[in-house]
Amino acid sequence: MNFDLTEDRQMLQDSLRRYLADKYSVEHRNKVAYDAPYHDDAKWAELTELGALFALAPEEAGGMGGAGFDISVVFEELGRVICPEPVLGALMASRLMTAAGADQEELLSGATKYAVGLGELDAPYDLSGISTSASGGKVTGRKSIVYGGQVADVFLVAAKDGDSLNVYEVKASDASVTGYALMDGAGAAEVVLEDAPATLLIEGADAAIADAVNAGIVALCAEAVGAMDVLHKMTVEYLGQRKQFGRPIGTFQVLQHRAVDMLTEIEQSRSIVIKAAAELGGPDASKYCSMAKNLIGRAGRLVAEEAIQMHGGIAMTWEYPGSHYAKRIIMIDAQLGDTDYHLMRVAQAA
Amino acid sequence: MDLNFTPEEEAFRQEVRDFFKENLPDDIRDAVRQGGELTKEIMERYHAILNKKGWLGTTWPKEYGGPGWGPVERHIFDEESCAAYAPRIVPFGLAMLGPVLQKFGSQEQKDYYLPRILNGDDWWCQGYSEPGAGSDLASLKTRAVRDGDEWVINGQKTWTTLGQHANMIFCLVRTDPDVKQQEGISFILVDMSTPGVEVRPIKLIEGGHEVNEVFFTDVRVPYKNLVGEENKGWTIAKYLLTHERTGIAGVGFSMLELEEVKALAKKIIRNGKPLSEDPLFAARVAQAEIDLEAMKLTNLRMLFTAQKQGAPGPETSILKIKGTVINQELKDLARRALGPNAAPFPKSLSGTNLDVAPDGHANNAARYFNNRKTSIFGGSNEIQRNILTKTMLGL
C-alpha cells in the first residue's frame, strides 16, 4: 500500500502545476474560455509540448503513461486552473485509437485535434438509443454537445451499422460543425453528419467505448477534485478575511462546520478517484467509475453551492474567480453521465 | 500509488482469517450475528481466546505482551474480525487504559495492571463524562482531595459503558479547582468495590442496558492510584483521544452491514418482487455503498499516513464523522427494509414478544436507535468539526 505518486508522476504534476500557474491565470482563462474558439491555441501547443498528451497514452501506442493515475494527475492539474483546453477529447480518442491499434502520433503531439462524439440529444449517456447510423462507409446522424468539437480536426463518432455499435473516424471538413461556448467556459459543437465519408475504426466497439468513457470519467473526476480543492481553499481564505459584525466571518461556527463538511467531501472525492483510477482498464472499471462519477456529482454540488453561499454576494459576480470554479464543478456533472445516471448503474449492478 | 497490500500483509490476513475460522465458537458468532447485547461471559471468553493467541492487546507493543502490530496489521485484524462476526474487543482496559499506563504509568502500575488487563482479572470502565461535562469535558466537577496517603473522591460520572460488569474504573477528577480548568485535572484508578461507589443502570432509548451512572461518596483510594503527575490528567485524556481514533471509521462493520442489507433486500418480498428490485431502495443502498467505498480508501490513505508518520493525524476526525454517518445510514436502511415488521419491540429487549422479522433482523429498529450514539460519543461529530476547523482549516 502506497499513496505517494511515483517519481515520474510527481515530476509530471510539478511541471504541469508550474506551467499552468504561470501561464493559465484565471484572468487569462476567462479571456479565452468564453470567446471563440473557446480555448488558446498557443497554450494548447505549449501544453502538448510539455507532454500532457503523451502522459495519457500507453507506451505501445506511442505515449508514456496511459494508466489511471497518469490521467488523474494531468486532469487534477487542469482542474486547478479550470483549463478550457480540449484535452478530454484527446484522451478519449486516444483510448479508442489504442483499442483500434491505430497510429496516434498526430494526436499525441497535439498537431491534430480530436473530439469524440458518442451521445445524442435523446441518448446522451446510454448509447443503446443512439440513432446515428452507418452503411457503406458513410455516416448519418447528429452528435450533440461534442466537447472540444468547435476546434476538432477529426471526430471519432459512435454509430450503428445494423446491430453493431461501431466507432468511425470522420474529418471535420466532411461534417457540418456548429461550435459554441459552454456555460462554464470552453467550447463544444453540434456535429451533423449527412452521408459523411467515414473510416471504420472499431467494429463492435461496446467495450472500447466503455473504456474510453471510463477514462473520461476518471479524468473529469480528477479535474473536479482539483477544482474543488482550489475553490475550498479560496473559501477558507475568504472566511478568514471577510469581516462582518466586527470580526472575520470564519470565527462563526456555523460557517466553520460547513467548511469542514466541504473538506470531508473533497477527501471522499479524492479517495474515490484513486479507486477508479486504480481500477481503470480492469474488469470492474465501469462499476468504480460510476461510483466515482456519482460521488463527485454529489460532492461537487455541495462544494460549489456552499462556496457560493459562504462567499455571499461576491460569488454571484462574473468578476470573482471562485464563481467560475463553481460553474465548472457543477457542469462536470452533465458530462459522461450525471449523478442519477451513475447511481442507477451502481444500483442495477448490485 | 499502490492500493494492494504486500504479500506479507496478505499472508497475515489469511492467518487472521484462519484463526477466526478455527477458534471463534459458533455460539459467539451467532450472538454477534443476531445483533443483540452480548453477555459478560461471551466477551470474557472471546478475550481469553485472543489472549491465548497473543492478539488481545491489538495496540500494545511486544514488551507489554501485545502483538506489536502497526496500523496496517491492526486494520487487517479489524476487518477480518468483523467479517468473521467476532465481537468488538471491549476497549476500556485494552485500547484505552493499557496504552495510558504504558505511556504514563509507574513501573509498579505497569507490572501490576497490564497483565491483569490481558488475563481478564480486571474489567475496566471509563469515568470521564459527567452530567454537566459532556462535550465540554474539561469542566468536570468530580472532586478528589488528598488526605495523607489517600484520595477522597466525591461526585458523579455518567455514560459509563458496561460499568455493570466492571470491577475497576479509571477517572478524570478535579484535584485543583483554583487553576485553569484543564490544569486541575488528574487521572486516578478506582476499585469499584471501595465503599461509597454506587453503579446505577441507565436504560437506553431502545430499552437496552449498556451504560450506567457511577456515584462517588467519600470514596477513599490509595494515593498511588494516581497515574502520571498530579493535575496533568488532561494531557492523558488528550493522548487517549488520539489513541481511540485508529479504526474509528468502523469500515469493517459497515461493510458487513452493507452485505446484510443487500441480502435482506433480496429476501423481503413486496408485491411479488424482491425489495432489492425497488429502484428507490436500490438507489439508497447504492449511494451508501458508494460512500462506503470512498470511506474505505480514505481510511487506507490515513492508515498509510499513520504508518509513515508514526501517529494518526488530525484528519482522522474526518473518519469519525463520515464513518459514523455512513454506518447510521446503513442501520436506517436495515430498519426501513423491514417495513412494518421493524415495529415490534424485539424479544431480546422485551422478553416476551413474538419476533416476526426474518431471522437475525428482529433487532434492526433497536440497533438503529442504539446506533445514534456513535455520532455523539468519542467526541461528538460537532466536536470533530471544531477540531478540523482548527487543525485543517486554520480558522
Active site residues of B: 244
Question: Is the Cα torsion angle B227, B233, B236, B241 positive or negative in sign?
Answer: positive
For residue B286, give the chain A residue with the closest CA. A347
State which residue of chain B sits closest to A241, comparing Cα positions. B395
CA-based nearest distance A252→chain B, Å: 9
Contact B21, B81 (CB under 8 A): no
Question: Cβ contact (<8 Å) for B393 and A260?
Answer: yes
Shortest Cα–Cα distance, A178 to chain B (Å): 38
Considering only CB atoms, which chain B residues are within 8 Å of A263? 318, 388, 392-393
**Rounded average pLDDT over A239-267:** 98
Q: Looking at residue B360, what is its pLDDT?
A: 85
Note the CATH architecture for domain B124-231.
Answer: Beta Barrel (2.40)
**Regarding the domain delimited by A7-108, which CATH topology (the fold level of the hierarchy) does it fall under?**
Butyryl-Coa Dehydrogenase, subunit A; domain 1 (1.10.540)
Residue A220 and residue A88 in contact, taking contact as beta carbons nearer than 8 Å? yes
Backbone φ/ψ region at B191: left (φ over 0), alpha (ψ -120 to 50), beta: beta
- Banded pLDDT at B8 (limits 50, 70, 90): very high
Q: How far apart are CA B320 and CA B331, in angstroms?
A: 16
> Which residues make Cβ contacts (< 8 Å) with residue A133, sequence separation at least 6?
A139, A140, A141, A159, A160, A161
Position B185 pLDDT exceeds 80: yes
Q: What is the pLDDT of residue B244?
A: 54
Spatial CA neighbour of B46 closest among B60, B32, B62: B32
SS3 A191: strand
Task: Considering the domain delimited by A114-204, tell me its CATH architecture.
Answer: Beta Barrel (2.40)
Query: Nearest-CA residue of chain A relative to B265?
Result: A350
Helix orientation angle between A206-241 and A321-332, rounded to the nearest 10 degrees: 150
ipTM, 2 decimals? 0.96
Q: Please give the single-letter amino acid code of residue B83.
A: A
pLDDT tens-digit map of B270-279:
999 999 999 9
Domain at A207-349: CATH code: 1.20.140.10
pLDDT at B245: 64
pLDDT of residue B246: 61
Q: Are B257 and B249 in contact (CB under 8 A)?
A: no
| Contact: A272, B382; criterion CB under 8 Å | no
Question: pLDDT by residue (tens digit) across A111-151?
Answer: 999 999 999 999 999 999 999 999 999 999 999 999 999 99
Dump pLDDT digits (tens) for A44-97: 999 999 999 999 999 999 999 999 999 999 999 999 999 999 999 999 999 999
Domain covering B245-393 in this structure, CATH number: 1.20.140.10
Which residues on chain A place their C-beta less than 8 Å from a C-beta of chain B? 1-6, 9, 69, 236, 239-240, 248, 250-251, 253, 256-257, 259-261, 263-264, 267-272, 274-275, 277-278, 288, 291, 294-295, 343-344, 346-348, 350
Rounded distance between C-alpha atoms, residue A299 and residue B340, angstroms = 33
Alpha carbon of A18: minimum distance to chain B alpha carbons (Å):
22
CA atoms within 13 A on the CB side of A162: 4
B299-334 residue pLDDT tens: 999 989 888 887 777 888 999 999 999 999 999 999
- Residue in chain A closest to B71 (alpha carbons) equals A1
Q: Where are the domain boundaries for CATH 2.40.110.10 in chain A?
A: 114-204
Average pLDDT for chain B: 94
Average pLDDT, chain A: 97
Residues ≥6 apart with Cβ < 8 Å to B368: B328, B331, B332, B334, B335
Check CB contact under 8 Å for B304 and A5. Answer: no
Rounded distance, CA B237 to CA B174, Å?
A: 13
Name the burial class of residue B270, with classes exposed (0-12), middle (13-18) and buried (19+) by CB atoms within 10 angstroms of its CB: middle
According to DSSP, residue B310 is labeled S
Chain B nearest-CA distance from A261, in A, is 8
Closest approach of chain A CAs to the CA of B343, in angstroms?
Answer: 27
DSSP A125-179: S-GGG---EEETTEEEEEEEEEETGGG-SEEEEEEEETTEEEEEEEEGGGSEEEE
| Nearest-CB residue to B262 (from A236, A295, A350) | A350
Per residue in B22-60, pLDDT tens?
999 999 999 998 877 799 999 999 999 999 999 999 999
- Average pLDDT score over residue span B157-180: 97
A212-221, A314-323, B40-49, B372-381: the lowest-pLDDT one: B372-381
Nearest to B297 among A6, A253, A274 (CB): A274
CA angle B393, B287, B1 (to 5 degrees): 60
* Confidence check: pLDDT of B89 > 70: yes
Closest residue by Cα to residue A83 from A36, A23, A37, A35: A23
The CATH 1.20.140.10 portion of chain A extends over 207-349
Q: B85 pLDDT band (50/70/90 cuts)?
A: very high
Contact A264 B321 (CB under 8 A): yes
The contacts of residue A7 (CB under 8 Å, 6+ apart) are none
Strands (E), chain A: 114-117, 133-135, 138-147, 154-161, 164-171, 176-181, 187-197, 199-202, 243-244, 247-248
**Contact call for A256 and B386, based on CB within 8 A:** yes
Q: pLDDT higher for A165 or B241?
A: A165
